[in-house]
Amino acid sequence: MTASPLPRFPRALFLAARPLPLAPLSLGLGRLGRRVSARHPGLLRRLGPYAAQRFLVDPPDLPFVLLIVPQTAEVSAHRRGQGLDHAARIAGPLSAFLAMMHGAQDGDALFFSRDLVIEGDTGAVLALRNAIDDSELDLTEEIAAMAGPLASLARHTLGRTERLTGLSLHRTETEAWA
């Protein structure tokens, strides 16, 4: 088996993040989740009956897992092994999730190559993937908008982080010119 071409979250950052308290991160993620939900109401409509499901996102290159409940816009970070109740678990490198979210990689290809692995309700995960694709999320723009007067600095910092790590932190434009 060949190694995945996807970048990995830097090990030094993994080690630095491991002892940090997760409550402040969860507060920020929750705020981001509420913002995304408010700015992209089609995401919930597209999820339909799966909007109330609990999704566990498990990137092994991070020292924590993320719990996402779209209907309540809940996004929270948790220590591994807490036995969180969830309908579906999606595991894979952070870069795979971000690349799929921003359109830099095809979600189906990531699943078939096993860069992303699904456990549990695959219908719910498929609905989530389709909803994310349709909403055309851009984390850099969402975070910049949350930063208010520091939006320019946020964009610059996230752009630099993207270049240094290889992580996809903004929407990849795929427009075809006629």
Instruction: Specify the length of the chain in residues.
Output: 178
* pLDDT for res 26: 95
Please say whether the beta carbons of 117 and 92 come within 8 A.
yes
32 by Cβ neighbours in 10 Å (0-12 / 13-18 / 19+) ranks as: middle
What is the distance of C-alpha 44 from the center of its chain? 16
pLDDT of amino acid 173: 64
Residue 92 to residue 95: CA distance in whole angstroms: 8
Tell whether the model's pLDDT for residue 174 goes beyond 60.
Answer: no
CA distances from 22 to 64, 105, 157 (A): 8, 29, 22
Q: What would the pLDDT profile of 58-78 be if each residue is shown by its tens digit?
A: 999 999 999 999 999 999 999
H or E element at residue 12: helix 11-17
Chain centre to alpha carbon of residue 125: 13
* Residue 9 pLDDT: 79
Residue 55 in this model has a pLDDT that exceeds 60:
yes
What's the pLDDT tens digit per position in 18-44? Answer: 888 999 999 999 999 999 999 999 999
**pTM to 2 decimals?**
0.86
DSSP state of 166: -
**85-143: pLDDT as tens digits:** 999 999 999 999 999 888 888 888 898 999 999 999 999 999 999 998 888 899 999 99
